[in-house]
């Protein structure tokens, strides 16, 4: 398996523009997580899905953020409109289950977002 | 406040030296993960500890779990430049009937040759 695939790797956009980040989880993994990593706050969970259904989106910072998972092999995280404070590295991770997952959670390489 | 506190925040050591990174949880631990992140890359799973007193090793990296103290330590023996990166501890925190994977802020390790 190619692992969790995220695109793009880098995104530079102007304030006010819409940004869409993409993730392809590992086949057979029922759980998908979106994280944001910054120096100040570390790795924060934004939202997670189980079997394509959003379970907990309490980490989504504002209404400007939205996430979808239309099928088991694809998820998007959208920011509209983007702001400079959204600049961070966004990670997607997947797992067959949660709670004492023996092999941990598999992370993608991340998308480095810069909003100017 | 962080549910998982790591210390130190950063570490600079000379190649060949031993070092320890600590992770303390504010909640009951149901298992704890250690990950390594190379600068600018994703997180790589190192190991998971499930039971109190459990100790696991991955090459020259050893991690232990003290469930009573809600702590884990990660020890690197004879550090090498390849060990450089950010080490993060993570745990499944109970939340509303589910387990949410939560992470510490990480410890940045630099190893000078």
- Residues A33-83: tens digit of each pLDDT: 999 999 888 999 999 999 999 999 999 988 999 999 999 999 999 999 999
Query: How far is CA A77 from each of CA A53, A66, B46, rounded to the nearest angstrom?
Result: 14, 6, 27
- Closest by CA to B44, choosing from A86, A89, A51, A93, is A93
The partner residue sitting opposite B45, judged by closest CB among A43, A45, A103, is A103
C-beta atoms of A98 and B103 within 8 A: no
What is the pLDDT tens value at each position of chain B, 113 positions in all?
A: 578 999 999 999 999 999 999 999 998 877 789 999 998 888 999 999 987 788 899 889 999 998 888 899 999 999 999 999 999 999 988 777 777 889 999 999 999 99
Describe the strand order of the beta sheet including A65-71 as a list of residue ranges: A5-7, A19-24, A74-79, A65-71
A interface mutation test: which of B40, B41, B47, B100 has the most A CBs within 10 A? B100
Residues of B in contact with A56 (CB under 8 A): 95-96, 98, 100
Cα separation, A112 vs B7, whole angstroms: 26
Query: How far is CA B100 from each of CA A28, B31, B75, B92, rounded to the nearest angstrom?
Result: 19, 12, 26, 5
Structure tokens at B55: 């100790």
- Closest by CA to B26, choosing from B104, B79, B109, B87, is B104
- φ, ψ dihedrals at B45, nearest 5°: -70, 130
C-beta atoms of A106 and B45 within 8 A: yes
């Amino acid at each position: 398996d190619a692992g969790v695939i995220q695109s793009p790797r880098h995104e530079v956009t102007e304030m006010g523009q819409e940004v869409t980040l993409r993730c392809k989880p590992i086949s057979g993994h029922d759980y998908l997580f979106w994280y944001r990593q910054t120096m100040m706050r570390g790795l924060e969970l934004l939202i997670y899905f189980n079997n394509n259904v959003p379970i907990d989106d309490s980490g989504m910072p504002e209404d400007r953020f939205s996430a979808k998972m239309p099928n088991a092999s694809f998820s998007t995280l959208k920011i509209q409109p983007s702001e400079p404070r959204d600049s961070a590295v966004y990670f997607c991770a997947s797992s067959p289950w949660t709670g004492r997952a023996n092999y941990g959670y598999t992370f993608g390489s991340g998308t480095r977002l810069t909003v100017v | 406040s962080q549910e998982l506190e790591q210390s130190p925040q950063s570490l600079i050591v000379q190649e060949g030296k031993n070092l320890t990174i600590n992770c303390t949880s504010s909640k009951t631990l149901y298992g704890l993960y250690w990950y390594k992140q190379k600068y600018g890359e994703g997180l790589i799973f190192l190991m998971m500890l499930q039971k109190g007193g459990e100790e696991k090793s991955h090459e020259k990296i050893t991690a232990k779990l003290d469930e009573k103290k809600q702590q884990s330590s990660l020890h690197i023996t004879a550090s090498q430049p390849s060990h450089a990166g950010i080490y993060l501890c993570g745990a499944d925190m109970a939340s509303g009937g589910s387990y949410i994977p939560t992470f510490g802020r990480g410890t940045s390790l630099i190893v000078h040759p």
